[in-house]
């Protein structure tokens, strides 16, 4: 459906949350900042896990969960672009910016290695 066929009032209805029950509102108001922060963190984790299970988000991988192939792709990428990325002007820049500066051959090779390592989707 093209965007111009969207009915704003229908979208608003679909995204409106129902009012919270009084006991939940009371619990929120009676909670400490730390308790609300902990609850928000748990809800965020549950949401992320649900989105990963449904395929909306790619699963997250911690540093200790890296496969050999993925770790190798990261090392090979760093070895290829380190000359540029280590320069003060690029140290805080993302890899995508660095790939615009290195040669096209190196950039294409890095993209291929990152795909091989499972860090980028297949073409």
Structure tokens at 108: 């294409």
**By three-state DSSP, how is residue 78 classified?**
helix
Report yes or no on whether pTM surpasses 0.95. Answer: no
C-beta separation of 53 from 46 below 8 A = no
Please give the pLDDT value at position 3.
61
C-beta separation of 76 from 113 below 8 A = yes
Q: What is the pLDDT of residues 39-91, one digit of tens each?
A: 999 999 999 989 988 888 877 778 888 999 999 999 999 999 999 999 999 99
């Amino acid at each position: 459906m093209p965007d111009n066929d969207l009915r704003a009032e229908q979208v608003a209805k679909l995204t409106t949350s129902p009012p919270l029950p009084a006991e939940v509102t009371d619990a929120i108001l009676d909670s400490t900042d730390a308790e609300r922060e902990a609850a928000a963190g748990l809800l965020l984790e549950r949401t992320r896990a649900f989105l990963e299970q449904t395929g909306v988000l790619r699963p997250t991988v911690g540093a200790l969960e890296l496969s050999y192939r993925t770790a190798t792709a990261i090392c090979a990428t760093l070895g290829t672009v380190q000359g540029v990325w280590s320069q003060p002007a690029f140290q805080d820049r993302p890899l995508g910016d660095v790939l615009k500066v290195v040669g096209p051959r190196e950039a294409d090779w890095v993209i291929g290695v990152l795909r091989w390592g499972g860090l980028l989707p297949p073409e």
